[in-house]
Structure 1
């Protein structure tokens, strides 16, 4: 590699020397040609003397050779310094690329002299790419660990129950079958949620956009879980505007159900308000509870996958930690956004802000 670096430096020096030599040669020959043309088309008046004719003699060629040598020396010195300035960040960039390829994701290139704007920008872009690659690798590692953790519990239960039924410890009655189906349904929801979040991350989550009575879709979603919410101690209030918007009604129901399930798991029993508000170019679907709300530091990452509030601040009834991530994925796929804010009474308000068009 050092041999290749030296080769590049020599190429820069030789190129600069060659350019300097060609430039001086063009200047020398061009002066003779221009002088000859001027003499041809605009000859001087009066008789000509030998001094009026520019005919190079050996002394002229000697002067030109000396000037050419001086130009070459100056060009080599300037080219050497320029080569060092150019090669320093490029060498750092190549070294960092090799370290990253070897698995050292913390490697970063040094921009060196920032007066070479394009080279400095190249190094900055490389470092930004390295930071993003390191973050993606860390996120992937965290995802794998979180997925393994979420899958371990239901799979352990399923294996234990099935092994117990095989060994005769458990009777394969209706209660056992219902418990096994519950675990399978949990696994199915986890896989579906992971599928949605992953598709959105790679920009492949497709929506079936069509004119939809969004208020009707919301009422259907609320009716499907109203008994469960009432049993958990929630009084549901619905405030909807009658409107037809272009959206994927099934995905909107899925997002709303995720918000309601999140409220059932983490909010204190009380009022649960579902509101649909129309704006000029957007509409907002919000779910508001009576508390306890989220800590400011947790609210910034509430829509990230596999994040949960602290157990001392909320009632925890299981869940994969993907529900709010699914809500955000559906909002983004619609060209909107998912928002959390604290209510006036200290509760939580989760909103889907989506375009009406």
Structure 2
């Protein structure tokens, strides 16, 4: 990138005014000297118009350099305004991808202003992306939960499903998830799109896993998925509803992308970490694209073919929640050998109320 020598506008104005004053004073002094040395003797007669004419000539001589210096300074200042005005108009119209390029040899203040405008546009662009992601994520969660609830309610209304305490217990986590999503919608604004509200408590991931698997197992039957439980104590500081959401997303991924597989859910403690593992025996994905599996809206080519209506949000939501807890997410997969997700959270995490 070409670097230009910058100029300070304040110093430039002071310098220009000083030069203008010096030139004006010099021109006036020179004019007066010439007048009294030569012109006054040549004209030789007294007239009230003579002084007016001479004064006008002196003023003209003084104003000419002032006008030249002022015009040049004004051009330097105004030259930066058209690109700035065009950029702000585009930003106001909703195009946050625009960036301002200051003209060469602009003033320091111009470079600072364009840098601030570009930073604002960049932040607005990030917010726009985040809002789009969160809207998609919340819609995804609503769609998943409402589908399960609607299926159960339809079964109850037609008599296919008998009402029972176990059935209602399975439905409660989905209702809680909808409540959590409604709170996210209520709290979603421009200043907090990169933040996730958490209700931190001391929880046992084994209890979370038991709750989720018990409520989800029945809904996995149509996909011929069997769940194996290996729950050991795994106490940590976390948001219980968010961790239920994490495991629900993982099991929902298994239902969509690994039908007919056996899913093993594990919880245990490993030194300073509380661990939760979900591994299936499905087709998995190539190891070469493993690092992109949790990217927003990214889907492997084979996944797109097998599940055309997917949106690539499940693992992205999981990663967002785990990151909010300052935890770690590991994905281990290989084509034809299953898909394994490992989540580990610190037993005594600090500063996880909000990111």
Q: What TM-score bracket applies, with the shorter chain setting the length?
A: 0.5 to 0.7
Q: Which residue of 1 aligns with 2:208?
A: 217
Q: Which residue of 1 aligns with 2:37?
A: none
Structure 1 segment 17-28 matched on structure 2, within 5 A: 17-20=16-19
Residue segments in structure 1 that go unaligned for 5+ positions in a row:
1-9, 25-57, 63-71, 163-171, 179-183
Q: How many Å apart are 1:118 and its aligned residue?
A: 5.3
Q: In the aligned structure 1, how far is the partner of 2:180 from the partner of 2:295? A: 13
Residue deviations 1:213-256, cap 9 Å, x none?
2333323333443455577243525264x343222223212311
Structure 1 segment 1-357 matched on structure 2, within 5 A: 15-20=14-19, 84-103=75-94, 105=96, 107-113=98-104, 116=107, 119-134=110-125, 136-137=127-128, 173-174=158-159, 195=182, 199=187, 202=193, 205-226=196-217, 228-229=219-220, 232-238=224-230, 240=232, 242-276=233-267, 278=269, 282-294=273-285, 300=292, 302-304=294-296, 310=301, 315-316=306-307, 322-336=313-327, 338-342=329-333, 346-356=337-347, 357=349
Q: What is the alpha-carbon root mean square deviation over aligned residues?
A: 5.4
- Residues 285, 335 of structure 2: 8 Å contact kept: no
Q: In the aligned structure 2, how far is the partner of 1:276 from the partner of 1:329? A: 20
Residue deviations 1:309-349, cap 9 Å, x none?
55666754977765434423432432335454435974323
Residue segments in structure 2 that go unaligned for 5+ positions in a row:
1-8, 24-28, 34-62, 164-170, 350-355
Q: In the aligned structure 2, how far is the partner of 1:308 from the partner of 1:143? A: 18
TM-score between the two structures when normalised by the length of structure 1: 0.55
- Residues 236, 345 of structure 2: 8 Å contact kept: no
Q: How many Å apart are 1:203 and its aligned residue?
A: 5.5
Q: Which residue of 2 aligns with 1:50?
A: none
Q: How many Å apart are 1:130 and its aligned residue?
A: 2.6
TM-score between the two structures when normalised by the length of structure 2: 0.56
- Secondary structure of the structure 2 residue equivalent to 1:216: helix
Change (3 A) 1:320 1:108: closer
- Residues 197, 325 of structure 1: 8 Å contact kept: no
- Secondary structure of the structure 2 residue equivalent to 1:351: strand
Bigger Cα displacement from structure 2, 325-334 vs 191-200: 191-200
Q: In the aligned structure 2, how far is the partner of 1:277 from the partner of 1:289? A: 18
Q: How many Å apart are 1:110 and its aligned residue?
A: 1.7
Change (3 A) 1:191 1:208: closer
Change (3 A) 1:235 1:19: same
Change (3 A) 1:250 1:106: closer
Q: In the aligned structure 1, how far is the partner of 2:94 from the partner of 2:253? A: 39
Bigger Cα displacement from structure 2, 316-325 vs 105-114: 316-325
Q: In the aligned structure 2, how far is the partner of 1:325 from the partner of 1:192? A: 20
Residue deviations 1:287-326, cap 9 Å, x none?
2223423465696264526x65556667549777654344
